[in-house]
Structures are given as structure tokens and as C-alpha cells.
């Protein structure tokens, strides 16, 4: 009977003496990370494992979300600031509207009672006091010589271009006729409007209202 070789000896590598006799190159173990067709077919149903790329994508998404959040916060802050400015402008406009309707303008240091704010008391300030003295006699001027003075003409005409009565002007009959003649002359020459106040007077009043506190 031939001698038996133990099973464990069959799995041991060949000795160096026997390797020298063999001319065939020793097979190398395949690389674990090298893909091949079989591994690709077997791993079709499996999800690719890319932890580095997933973390990079997650970081980019978080950055975009933070940027959007900062933009929304900035937009809301600007919107609230604009709304605050609009409210202040509207409150200022309403205040100026009420002040323009008051016939009496209060100054610092004025003393008043609640009765002074009533409607009947305000009407007294709206009325113009009648003139008791002839201004042309006091100044010693002739109304016909100042027909081009639009301020003078506006003081003796109404807002619709009508000549005021002597009860309102307080002039003597002679000076009343002279100022009426000067008004008709300047309107006939086209230097003064006949249906409204002079534009320069309106501009002066508008500027005085704007500069009034």
C-alpha cells in the first residue's frame, strides 16, 4: 500500500526547492477594490455608498438654506422699516392738515383756556377786522402810481378778482375810486389775473405754510 499524505500537507504552499522546478508564475490574489462586470451586475440593486459626496451635498444644502433664511430676515426687516416710515409720513401729513385748518396759530408762551379751542372762538380769528384808517392818507401815496404792485392790488381785491367794498378797505371815497381805477387798469393790461389771486402771491403763501412749524 502506498504511503498516505496528510490532508494538511496538501494545503501548505510548495517548498522553495519545488518552486524552482516549476516555471509557471504564481497566481496573485485579486484586488478587492477593483470593479469587474460580475460585481457590477450583482450590485445593481444596492445603493452606491458615497459618504464623502453625501456629506458634501448635505453641507451645500445647509449653506443654501442659511442664505435663504438670512435673505428673508433682511427683507422682512427692510419691509418693516418702510412701513414705519410710511406711518410717520402719514401721521405728519394728517397733523399738517389739521394745523392748516386752524385759523389761529399758537406760539410758544401763549396762554389759553379750553373755551379758546371751541368753534365759536375760532371763528373770531377767522374774521378780518374792518379797517378804520385810510392807508393811502397815512402813507401819503397815490394808488394810481402803484397799479403794477401786485401785492397792493391783491390786498384790495377778493380771491375771485372783485374790488372790495369801502366798508372792508376803510378808504375815503376819493381813494376808493382811485384804487378801483388802478385795479381795472392793471387787469385790462393783463398784468393781474381777473378770476383768481396773483400767482406770486399764491407761491408766497405756499412757501410760508411750508416754513411754518
Q: Which of 2-6, 18-22, 26-30, 123-127 has the lowest average pLDDT?
A: 18-22
Cell of 91: 401721521
The answer to whether 183 and 150 are in contact (CB under 8 A) is: no
Q: Which of 5-14, 109-118, 119-128, 140-149 has the lowest average pLDDT?
A: 5-14
Mean pLDDT of the chain: 77
pLDDT greater at residue 185 or residue 120:
185
Q: What is the mean pLDDT of residues 62-81?
A: 87
Burial of 201 from C-beta contacts in 10 A (0-12 / 13-18 / 19+)? middle
* CB hemisphere CA count around 132 (13 angstroms): 1
What pLDDT is stored for residue 199 in this prediction?
83
Residue 184 neighbours by CB distance under 10 Å = 13
pLDDT greater at residue 116 or residue 54:
116
What pLDDT is stored for residue 150 in this prediction?
85
Give dist(CA 164, CA 180) in Å, integer: 9
- Neighbouring residues of 161: CB distance < 8 A, sequence distance ≥ 6: 187, 192, 193, 194, 195, 196
Amino acid at each position: 500500500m502506498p504511503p498516505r499524505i496528510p490532508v494538511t500537507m496538501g494545503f501548505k504552499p510548495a517548498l522553495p526547492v519545488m518552486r524552482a522546478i516549476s516555471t509557471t508564475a504564481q497566481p496573485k490574489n485579486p484586488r478587492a477594490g477593483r470593479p469587474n462586470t460580475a460585481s457590477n451586475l450583482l450590485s445593481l440593486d444596492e445603493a452606491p455608498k458615497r459618504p464623502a459626496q453625501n456629506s458634501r451635498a448635505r453641507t451645500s444644502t445647509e449653506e443654501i438654506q442659511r442664505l435663504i433664511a438670512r435673505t428673508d430676515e433682511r427683507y422682512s426687516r427692510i419691509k418693516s422699516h418702510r412701513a414705519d416710515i410710511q406711518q410717520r409720513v402719514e401721521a405728519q401729513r394728517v397733523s399738517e392738515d389739521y394745523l392748516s385748518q386752524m385759523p389761529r396759530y399758537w406760539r410758544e408762551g401763549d396762554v389759553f383756556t379750553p373755551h379758546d379751542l371751541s368753534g365759536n372762538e375760532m371763528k373770531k380769528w377767522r374774521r378780518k377786522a374792518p379797517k378804520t384808517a385810510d392807508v393811502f392818507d397815512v402813507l401819503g401815496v397815490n394808488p394810481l402810481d402803484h397799479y403794477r404792485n401786485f401785492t397792493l392790488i391783491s390786498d384790495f381785491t377778493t380771491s375771485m378778482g372783485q374790488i372790495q367794498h369801502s366798508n372792508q378797505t376803510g378808504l375815503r371815497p376819493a381813494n376808493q375810486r382811485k384804487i378801483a381805477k388802478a385795479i381795472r387798469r392793471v387787469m385790462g393790461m393783463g398784468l393781474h389775473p381777473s378770476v383768481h389771486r396773483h400767482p406770486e402771491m399764491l407761491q408766497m403763501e405756499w412757501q410760508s405754510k411750508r416754513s411754518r412749524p
